[in-house]
Amino acid sequence: LKDAQKQTLKRCLNVSRYQSKSLEWTSFYLWKFNVFMHNFVKQKSKIKTEALFREYSVGINNSHMIRKLSEQLEQCELELKYKSQRVSQMKQKILNVYVTLANAIKHANGKKSFKLNLEDHKLGELFDLFIPAMKNNTFLKEINLGGNTLTEAQIVALFTTLRSDGSLIALRLPNSELTQESIGAICNFLAGRVSLRLLDLSGNMLGMSLAELSLALSKSARFEHLNFANCSISPMATKSQSQDEIQDFAQTLHGMDHLKTVNLNQNNLKDRGTNAILDSLQNSPKLRELELSHCSLTLDDNTTALCEVLKSCPQLKTLNISHTNISPQNTKKVLNQLENSKCLQILDISGNNFDDNCLENLLTLLEQCINIHTLKCSQSAFRDSHLATLMTYIGHRFINLEHIYLGELDFEMGVFCFFFVG
């Protein structure tokens, strides 16, 4: 403290002793003065310390105020103790529920299979209850542990415990912050696992382990549903990841002729990577959902490969090519090819450029594919005339179209007036 502050503190102590003989008052005053000095130094206030002292020296004589504050403090302590007890009771109840669930899994019989869904439960150490419960269990059909951020040791213990001859069909671990060691344990588990049909690793960084994962998937060619959205499957994801690893991953997809859904959104695949994957998907005639948002389709070869996939997949129901930088000319080619996809139900072409020819092809597509019930074209380069024409057709002809997403389109209010009046 500076000399002036020391003198003020000394005067404060003298005044407090003179005005009250109570040690509680003196300690209370010193606490208040300490808080004030802290605020004074922290905020660099221009108010003099003498003024602060005079303000608080008035309150120190008010015993009623001190008694009231003490009562409030005591009440707060009681409430905090009660809430702490309630929290402890709730934690114990939650623990009992998880223990009961773990015991049910451990003693499950062969009469009925079951699914374990613990997504976003924030289990932490509680997950250790389930690892021994899954040992020698052959009736578990589905595991969903997404959003739990399990440790490497827990992941390794889990997939070491699960039986290789089990009947697990679906494995979901989205947004689990998987490390390279954790992915390695998963790959060892996947190798030769013929019962698995669904794998969801979305939201995890797979870049460093893509080659290992591709090798494991190639040994289990019966997969029907793959979700690798936002998994950094990109040539620029890491310095060690080369284009050859993308080619290996594409080659793995080539051998999966049972694929029904493929989600590669948000992976920022470059032109060569997208082209390799599309070439592989031509061997998946049962494909029903294809998600390629934010994957590059700038080259003509990409569009040609995509059209070949659409041609070889007549059962396709969902196509997402939003934000792919596809040119209007190539968009026209895709829309022309989609006219033969009679099963198409959901089309997302958001974030791409359109011209008059694209609009004509889109309207023809909506006429030909009567099963389309959802159209997404937000953030697209529609002109006001395009939007007016689209709205008019939808309002008068396409009764099967249930949802249309326009998003952040730039249009004038007169367009909507035209549509509603029409």
Q: Sorting pLDDT into bands at 50, 70 and 90, what band is 203?
A: very high
pLDDT at 416: 44
Higher pLDDT, 74 or 154: 154
Provide mean pLDDT across the span 149-158. Answer: 88
Contact 366, 401 (CB under 8 A): yes
Give the separation between CA 379 and CA 408, rounded to whole angstroms: 5
Residue 401: pLDDT over 60: yes
117 pLDDT above the threshold of 90: no
Residue 208: pLDDT over 70: yes
Lowest-pLDDT range of 125-139, 147-161, 218-232: 125-139
Reported as a pLDDT band with limits 50, 70 and 90, residue 171 is very high
Q: For the residues 239-243, what does the mean pLDDT come to?
A: 51
175: DSSP letter:
T
**b/e code 131-147 from CB counts within 10 Å (16+ = b):** bebbeebeebebbbbbb
Q: List, as one string, the DSSP characters of 280-335.
A: HHTT-TT--EEE-TT----SHHHHHHHHHHHHH-TT--EEE-TTS---HHHHHHHH
> What pLDDT, on the 0 to 100 scale, is given for residue 421?
39
Predicted pLDDT at 201: 94
Phi first, then psi, for residue 3 (nearest 5°) are -60, -40
* 235 vs 290, higher pLDDT: 290
pLDDT of residue 418: 40
Q: What is the pLDDT of residue 16?
A: 46
pLDDT digits (tens, 9 = 90+) for 83-95: 777 777 777 777 7
**Among 345, 333, 354, 331, CA closest to 403:** 345
Q: What is the mean pLDDT of residues 344-358?
A: 86
- Confidence at 235, pLDDT banded by 50, 70, 90: low
Instruction: Decide: pTM greater than 0.85.
Output: no
Beta strands in 155-287 (DSSP E): 170-172, 198-200, 225-227, 261-263
Q: Does position 227 have pLDDT exceeding 90, yes or no?
A: yes
